[in-house]
Structure 1
Amino acid sequence: MGVVARKGMLVYKIYRALSYVVSPLLQLHLRWRKIRGLEHPTRLPERLGRPSLTRPPGPLLWFHAVSLGEGMAAIPVIKECVKWRPDLNILLTTTTMSAFEVIINQLPTGVLHQFSPIDTPAAMDAFLDYWNPNAIMLLESELWPNLIMASSRKGILLALLNARVSMKSFKLWSSPVLFPLISLLLSKFSLIIPLSSMQAIHFQLLQAPPFIINFAGDLKYVVEYDASKEEFRSIDDLKVQLGHRKVWMASSIHRGEEEVMLGVHKVLKQVYPDLVTIIVPRYPQHGKDIAQKLQKEGQHVALRSQHQRIVPGRNIYVVDTLGELRHLYRLTPIAVIGGSFFPGLAGHNISEAAAAGCAVLTGYHVGHFSHMLREMQRLNPLSVLQVAGKLELEEAILKFFSDGKVLEARQTASKQAFHALSNGIIANAWNVLYFHVLKQALLKETDNR
């Protein structure tokens, strides 16, 4: 064992000891989250590694995603697994309630769901002992030390899909204290699929073994439109309500950004009195707060959760629901992606709007989505337009509304860039995952029988 590995093991032992000590506090914290509605009302034991489902016999693959974005990225890979290896059991864990509420309706029949265990030795050991997965696929940047080290001890193969590390985390992980631990954790993986070349460099600088890094493409480019007949009917009904009115959407906006979007709405409405602005906040409660404030000001607002219609005189439609965004993009020729207009924000997925053929605009604070933006602009400079703030956003949308050819060129560019970048990603991801992880994991299963 080298010097860095020895230091990493020492840091891990300290982490493990601390996680033992704080375990009672974490359990109290989970109960507090349950009271606030942030944990499932009846499934809290799952967060401590206690199952609520029976483990089926045979090989089992565990996919772990924290929140909605990672969960939606995991689903196409899970479907590919089901398609090619229907004999395998698949377990998906998520952490957030918002992810659970949306994803549970998207999973293929037979795929199991549990809430993810907290990273304490007792919870993780209980979870792994019960589910006994053959391989674990973690999404994005889920480097939990007890999970990874316990899995390695038990001979469970590990993969990191759509792997990324933010600049803030990279600086933290590169620090003298954490670098040996991160290097040790990455050495336990059989496969890392980075979402960009820059991310691959980050993982190599963190001493991930170069031979385990393989490219497949960014899973967030894979946009599926699975929906019930009722959901499709609902979107089609909204199209009818919008008629021939001018429409634009501000999606995934964070607190404070609504002031920018409503300011733009006010200016646009002076030019186009029948304008409809669709506002989709990142969190539903934020949508309710926006609607309440606007109604107090005497504005006519339609709220999605209340099934209120977009009748003449109503110019703002606030979406305070989850899991509908990729369908709602079909309603608008222009999509402004939020989470990008103030420092400290990190952007959101622009590919769903591009897939729907929207003209895509975003701010400059796009964080780890900068690679997606650069790739799309490289393929076609018209595919994504970055604007600095309210005035530039006003000018751009007014230009699009006033010149149909400019708007159409933007819409075509975004859709073409999306199709070029999304082509073959799932097949690539499945091939790499099967060759580097699943094949070996299933051979071990056969040898152990």
Structure 2
Amino acid sequence: MELGVLVYRLYRALTYGVSPFIHLHMRWRRLRGLEHFRRWHERFGHPSAVRPPGSLVWFHAVSLGEGMAAVPVIRRCNEMKPEMTILMTTTTLSAFEVIRKQLPAGVLHQFAPLDTPVAVDRFLGYWKPNAIIIMENELWPNLIMSAALLRIPLALLNARMSTKSFKRWSSPLFLPLASLLLSKFSLIAPLSSLQGIHFQLLQAPPFVINFSGDLKYVVNKFHVSSGTSESIRDLKAQLSEMKVWIASSLHKGEEEVILGVHNLLLQSHPDSVVIIVPRHPHHGQQIAQKLRKDGQSVALRSRNEKLTSQKTNIYVVDTLGELREFYRVAPIAVIGGSFLPWLTGHNVSEAAAAGCAVITGAQ
């Protein structure tokens, strides 16, 4: 544990020292449209909302998938304790755009503070949360250690760790730090037995590990009950006589792998259609633009284009928040984030819950 404290102190000193450069980097991201143009200062712990009096629970999720998994838990907390304030933070703009429409009335939203000492301390000092619930795999040392120092209970829900992340945290340098950070949690709820073993091997206290299952199955159930949109039903009707597969959560470069496979499939199954769902909408627009430049016929989701031509066998989804519905259109799902060596994969539970046969690369 002493080694873990030493590594943490080195990390804290490093993040403090590079804070000016991080500030410049965030300004650059803002100019590129990667941070909220007006609310980007929230990333440095500056609030843009008033903290109501009374108890406050802070839910944190990085991106859309983790945020949507948190929504049913937030709804339940809101029903059971309506007098309690719930603060939701996300990191990505895409998560903000979709999740803000899903949150119950009265739930506050802020962009998550960077894991620098000043930003974290400013955030905690203003919001004074009574509990912090972190989704999936966010082990930020400054946040966790500062919360522990203030005796704020910490929970890690839907806890998971990719193979690459597990190997990194298991290394001789980072294992003492991982052990120190995990010792500060009051609850760790892994999404599977394998993930539970990962956290045990990282020396998380056994008594804080409690299995609850994958919350993304709850999300899927919640969305199924609300029905399928008319446009998705129309698309399903268009595809009824075709062999359909979906490639989702693609990072830049992975579309080349998918399109290469699709071209091979067309040789033996000319009635094949691939639904391509990149991680970011602008990436989908770039894919469609490039394919059209190469003379291929593509239907783009944001323009509500139809698969009317027999030559159109590529459907590009450049919208957010619809992935669960698209999984119910295709019987086979290929999950991205796993076909390039520096990527660590994505959760396959949503596709599996929709009844898809799931294919993924190394994770």
| Structure 1 pair 260–57 and aligned structure 2 pair: CA distance change class (3 A) | same
| Cα deviation digits, residues 133-175 of structure 1 (max 9, x gap) | 1000112222222211221122211111122233333333334
The aligned counterpart of 2:307 is 310
Residue 257 of structure 1 deviates from its aligned partner by 3.5
The code of the aligned residue for 1:351 comes to: S
The code of the aligned residue for 2:84 comes to: L
The aligned counterpart of 1:329 is 327
Aligned residue-pair number: 361
Instruction: Indicate the SS of the match to 1:52.
Output: coil
Equivalent of 1:254 in 251, 256, 274: 251
The answer to whether the 8 A contact 1:94-1:115 is kept is yes
The code of the aligned residue for 2:210 comes to: N
| Structure 1 pair 231–52 and aligned structure 2 pair: CA distance change class (3 A) | farther
The answer to whether the 8 A contact 1:225-1:326 is kept is no
| Structure 1 vs Structure 2 CA RMSD | 2.5
Deviates more, 1:76-85 or 1:44-53: 76-85
The aligned counterpart of 2:346 is 348
Deviates more, 1:257-266 or 1:69-78: 257-266
The aligned counterpart of 1:59 is 55
Mark the runs of 5 or more structure 1 residues left unpaired by the alignment.
368-449
Instruction: Indicate the SS of the match to 1:317.
Output: strand
The aligned counterpart of 1:357 is 355
The code of the aligned residue for 2:276 comes to: I
The answer to whether the 8 A contact 1:11-1:181 is kept is yes
Equivalent of 1:165 in 161, 165, 169: 161
The code of the aligned residue for 1:52 comes to: S
Instruction: Indicate the SS of the match to 1:165.
Output: coil
Instruction: Indicate the SS of the match to 1:81.
Output: helix
| Cα deviation digits, residues 273-311 of structure 1 (max 9, x gap) | 454332222332332222122212222211112222221
State yes or no: 1:139 paired with 2:127.
no
| Cα deviation digits, residues 214-242 of structure 1 (max 9, x gap) | 11112233214549999812212323443
Instruction: Indicate the SS of the match to 2:110.
Output: strand
After superposition, where does 1:285-296 map in structure 2 within 5 Å?
Answer: 285-296=282-293
Residue 319 of structure 1 deviates from its aligned partner by 1.1
Percent of aligned pairs sharing the same letter? 65
Q: Distance in 1 between matches of 2:243 and 2:5?
A: 60
Higher-Rg member (1/2) = 1
State yes or no: 1:154 paired with 2:150.
yes
The code of the aligned residue for 1:346 comes to: T
Instruction: Indicate the SS of the match to 2:229.
Output: helix
Q: Distance in 2 between matches of 1:292 and 1:145?
A: 41
TM-score under structure 1 normalisation? Answer: 0.74
Residue 114 of structure 1 deviates from its aligned partner by 0.4
State yes or no: 1:23 paired with 2:23.
no
The aligned counterpart of 1:238 is 235
State yes or no: 1:117 paired with 2:94.
no
TM-score under structure 2 normalisation? Answer: 0.90
| Structure 1 pair 340–111 and aligned structure 2 pair: CA distance change class (3 A) | same
The answer to whether the 8 A contact 2:191-2:213 is kept is yes
The answer to whether the 8 A contact 1:291-1:303 is kept is yes
Instruction: Indicate the SS of the match to 1:108.
Output: coil
Residue 352 of structure 1 deviates from its aligned partner by 2.2
Instruction: Indicate the SS of the match to 1:308.
Output: coil
